[in-house]
């Protein structure tokens, strides 16, 4: 056997060479469930605003696994006991933590399946894989779902300071070109340790944490909740909703994707869990099914569907208007009136039903950091850990724990 044969290296632009253990972990990487993530954009429609951010959930999964390797090695150097099986399980956990995501990540979750969250699908798919691989994923499932005794392993996958977030913040910041989101991963990872069973940050890491929280806030404001991204999301939801409505109404349209057709016609719910048929169709779904459909639907005779798709393909998005800080309620009826006039001018059916595809009222919530069970804890000295927003000299962070709600209207550009 070759000496270099225990790992395969993936070349990652963010973290350099990522070593993936051959065997079970590499088999999972190559599995179609994980490979499917290559066809789901990490930032949903963010690439339409930040042209560089075309990266997929797959590269994020590989990157998160790379960070997990580093933090595990660092914790071991600090004498934390992590067995070989735990090490493998936590790698699997982070690799698979996102396999339940659907097309364009979060955008269509609710439109495709009612009462659905992608975490449900992640767990369902992991259980399927566990069967396929004869129970070898049991420990990974326990860790991911928080059932395993060593809580710190769960926290490394899922908490307010996990490998998932460290990877996506850095990755999204670099790929989007928004430098304000840059964080010092190296310092955060090297100042992590396990204290009383939980992940904590050593005192010398507190400024890296402050930077991480601020960067998170700025990425939300500048990228994730960018007003054009918000409006592109609504446009995509409108397109899918219009297709659903047309089919429900008996107005047949061509749906190139069989899996998408299933969801449009059957309109499944997750209320009573996920059926085998839902799962089987879901794993066939990715960004391509939507983009393919939009290209076809641009040529459909329904003027609304056609218009919406053409807007998508030529970047004629709706406009987002945030309410002024002293305004709590938008004047919706005025917006409706103006939208009706605009629709008429555009030669589209000017009725209340159509307005639903062209006018939206919603709000964003910005929580850079929350004080809850998954908070970040820092060591004040060798014997005391304290929750971060309650540590000394963090007035600005304390200010950030108060979540800010910003209502907005999305409307036709013609509706000023």
User: Minimal distance in Å, beta carbon 111 to a copy of itself?
Assistant: 19
User: Minimal distance in Å, beta carbon 56 to a copy of itself?
Assistant: 6
User: Minimal distance in Å, beta carbon 206 to a copy of itself?
Assistant: 9
User: Cβ(140)–Cβ(96) under 8 Å?
Assistant: yes
Q: By C-beta, is 212 or 270 nearer to a copy of itself?
A: 212
Distance CA 77, CA 93 (A): 22
Report helix, strand or coil for 378: strand
Cα distance from N-terminal residue to C-terminal residue, the chain:
69
Q: By C-beta, is 86 or 202 nearer to a copy of itself?
A: 202
Q: What is the CA radius of gyration of the chain?
A: 23
User: Minimal distance in Å, beta carbon 16 to a copy of itself?
Assistant: 4
Q: By C-beta, is 139 or 218 nearer to a copy of itself?
A: 218
Report helix, strand or coil for 408: strand
Q: By C-beta, is 145 or 398 nearer to a copy of itself?
A: 398
Full DSSP string of 117-130: -HHHHHHHHHHHHH
Q: By C-beta, is 22 or 117 nearer to a copy of itself?
A: 22
Q: Which residues contact 47 (CB under 8 A, 6 or more apart)?
A: 41, 53, 54
User: Minimal distance in Å, beta carbon 291 to a copy of itself?
Assistant: 5
Closest alpha carbon to 146 in 90, 88, 67, 80: 90
Q: By C-beta, is 134 or 393 nearer to a copy of itself?
A: 393
With residues binned 3-state (H G I as helix, E B as strand, rest as coil), the percentages for the chain, rounded to 5, are 55, 10, 35
User: Minimal distance in Å, beta carbon 181 to a copy of itself?
Assistant: 9
């Amino acid at each position: 056997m070759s000496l270099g044969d225990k790992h395969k290296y993936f070349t990652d632009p963010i973290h350099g060479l990522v070593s993936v253990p051959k065997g079970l972990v590499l088999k999972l990487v190559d599995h179609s469930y994980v490979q499917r993530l290559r066809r789901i954009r990490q930032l949903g429609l963010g690439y339409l605003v930040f042209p560089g951010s075309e990266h997929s959930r797959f590269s994020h999964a590989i990157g998160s696994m790379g960070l997990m390797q580093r933090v595990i090695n660092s914790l071991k150097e600090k004498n934390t006991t992590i067995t070989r099986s735990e090490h493998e399980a936590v790698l699997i956990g982070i690799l698979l933590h996102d396999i339940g995501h659907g097309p364009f990540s979060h955008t269509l979750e609710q439109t495709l399946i009612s009462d659905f969250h992608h975490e449900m699908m992640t767990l369902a798919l992991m259980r399927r894989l566990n069967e396929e691989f004869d129970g070898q994923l049991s420990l990974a499932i326990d860790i991911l779902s928080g059932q395993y005794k060593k809580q710190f392993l769960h926290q490394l996958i899922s908490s307010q300071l996990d490998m998932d977030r460290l990877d996506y913040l850095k990755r999204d910041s670099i790929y989007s070109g928004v430098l304000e989101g840059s964080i010092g991963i190296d310092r955060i990872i090297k100042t992590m340790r396990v204290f009383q069973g939980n992940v904590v940050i050593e005192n010398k890491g507190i400024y890296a944490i402050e930077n991480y929280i601020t960067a998170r806030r700025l990425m939300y404001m500048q990228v994730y909740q960018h007003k054009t991204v918000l409006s592109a999301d609504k446009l995509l939801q409108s397109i899918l909703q219009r297709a659903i409505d047309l089919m429900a109404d008996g107005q047949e349209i061509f749906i190139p994707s069989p899996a998408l057709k299933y969801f449009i016609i059957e309109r499944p719910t997750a209320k009573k869990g996920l059926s085998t048929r839902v799962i089987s169709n879901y794993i066939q779904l990715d960004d391509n099914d939507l983009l393919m459909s939009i290209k076809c639907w641009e040529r459909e005779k329904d003027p609304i569907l056609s218009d919406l798709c053409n807007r998508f393909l030529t970047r004629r998005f709706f406009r987002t208007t945030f309410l002024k800080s002293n305004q709590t309620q938008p004047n919706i009826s005025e917006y409706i009136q103006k939208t009706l006039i605009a629709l008429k001018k555009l030669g589209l059916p000017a009725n209340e039903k159509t307005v639903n595809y062209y006018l939206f009222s919603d709000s964003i919530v910005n929580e850079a950091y929350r004080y809850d069970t998954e908070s970040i804890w820092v060591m004040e000295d060798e014997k005391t850990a304290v929750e971060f927003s309650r540590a000394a000299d963090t007035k600005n962070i304390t200010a950030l724990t108060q979540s800010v709600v910003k209502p907005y209207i999305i409307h036709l550009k013609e509706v000023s």
